[in-house]
Amino acid sequence: MFTLKSFAAVAVVLGLAQAAPSSAAVPRDITLLLLCNDANLGDCLDFQTEIDLCKNIPDGFDNSVSSVNTFSDFKLCNFYNNPDCNEDAGSITLGGVQNTLSAEFDDNFSSVKCLRNK
Ligand SMILES: *[C@@H]1O[C@H](CO)[C@@H](O)[C@H](O)[C@H]1NC(C)=O
């Protein structure tokens, strides 16, 4: 009986030791964007965010972005005129290089959320 119990205890410990790294490795889908104050990717910020995470655009670029690059036509991000990815003042989905933005969005983005590829 004693040895059986010991074996069970060791198995539990080993199981925990193996489970710990995988449960700690929560995937973080970090993604990089260029947010640029000028058209044609001029005066840009390397902006790091995560897929499905809303981020407000920082001072110096908030309400100033005139072009963007998501680095892939397949990497789409929603850009919002309001902070906190609030859709009420308008939003647009963009991917790849956008050298100019329409009047509704030029110098007006305040937040961004990138989408998971479907
Ligand atoms: C710019 O964004 C604001 C919200 O921050 C919105 O009310 C306004 O309509 C937008 N401007 C244009 C020209 O669409």
Residue 5 lies in a domain: no
The 3-state DSSP class for residue 68 equals strand
Number of C-beta neighbours around residue 35 at 10 A = 24
Residue 93 lies in a domain: yes
pTM of the predicted structure, to 2 decimals: 0.78
Query: According to the model, what pLDDT value does residue 14 have?
Result: 45
Residues in the chain, how many?
A: 118
Query: According to the model, what pLDDT value does residue 13 have?
Result: 46
Residue 75 lies in a domain: yes
Q: How far is the CA of 95 from the centre of ligand 1 (A)?
A: 21
Query: According to the model, what pLDDT value does residue 28 have?
Result: 78
Q: Are 2 and 16 in contact (CB under 8 A)?
A: no
Q: How far is the CA of 50 from the centre of ligand 1 (A)?
A: 25
Residue 12 lies in a domain: no
Residue 11 lies in a domain: no
Residue 87 lies in a domain: yes
Residue 106 lies in a domain: yes
Residue 9 lies in a domain: no
Q: Cβ(12) to ligand 1 under 6 A?
A: no
**How many structural domains are present in the chain?**
1
Asked whether the CA dihedral 86, 50, 74, 56 is positive or negative, the reply is: positive
Long-range contacts of 72-77 (CB under 8 A, 24+ apart): 72/96, 74/117, 75/31, 75/114, 75/117, 76/114, 76/115, 77/33, 77/112, 77/113, 77/114, 77/115
Which residues of the chain have a pLDDT value below 70? 1-27
Ligand 1, residue 110: give the atom nearest the CA: 5
The CATH code of the domain that includes 100 is 2.60.20.10
Q: Which domain holds residue 110?
A: 30-114
Residues 32 and 54: their CA atoms lie apart, in Å, by 13
SS3 of 30-55? EEEEEEEEECCCEEEEEEEEECCCEE
Query: According to the model, what pLDDT value does residue 90 have?
Result: 98
Q: Cβ(20) to ligand 1 under 6 A?
A: no
Atom 9 of ligand 1, residue of closest alpha carbon:
89
